[in-house]
Amino acid sequence: MSGFTVTALSETTWPAYAALIERHDGVFGGCWCLGFHAEGKPGQMSVAARCAAKQARVTAGTAHAALVFEGESCVGWCQFGSPEELPRIKNRKDYEAGLAMLPDWRLTCFFVDRHHRRQGVAAAALAGALAEIAKLGGGIVEAYPEDTHGTRMSPTFLHAGSLAMFEAAGFGRERMIGKNKWVVRATLPAG
């Protein structure tokens, strides 16, 4: 992970974040990392409208992410936010069936530049997101990674990260909510 720095998504870092998304055709078919926000349902907005909505959220302070930089270039991120900020999650029916208590924070997606994969960018983004959450008061943090069983998977399927990465960061398994998808949790003190 040497050579990487991590900083929060903000109006100042928006241009570098947007440049990464644009280099990858809007990410995941034009999502603009809006898919987990209330207005982010696929097919409801044009790609340009999704970009504008995400930028408006960043300006308003209602979009959070830890951005990984190599020099001046953003090479990846981990999106996080409260359940109110990120209400849309995959496998919702299974998730709600076993839900005892909502977390304070959700980690919903990762993205890594195609030229920087398998270099520790996602782990750096996760560490950065946890550091930002601690600065914001800490609490119960939840994520929904895939158990890859040591196999390689397409980045499309690893948008939520790997179970092994989260376990290495101290998260514990709560329950399964899909064929290979887990709910994992950790409690972070304020920092």
How deeply is 108 buried, as exposed, middle or buried, from its count of CB atoms within 10 A (0-12, 13-18, 19+)?
Answer: buried
Q: Quick one: pLDDT at residue 28?
A: 81
Q: How far apart are the C-alpha atoms of 103 and 16, rounded to whole Å?
A: 30
Q: Quick one: pLDDT at residue 25?
A: 87
Q: Quick one: pLDDT at residue 155?
A: 56
For residue 157, give both structure tokens.
């399927």
Of all residues in the chain, what percent carry a pLDDT higher than 90?
A: 74
- CA-nearest of 112, 105, 111, 92 to 64 is 105
Strands (E), the chain: 4-8, 64-70, 73-81, 105-112, 139-143, 172-176, 182-188
Superfamily of domain 4-188: Gcn5-related N-acetyltransferase (GNAT) (3.40.630.30)
Boundaries of every domain in the chain: 4-188
Under the banding of pLDDT at 50, 70 and 90, the label for residue 152 is: low
pTM: 0.93
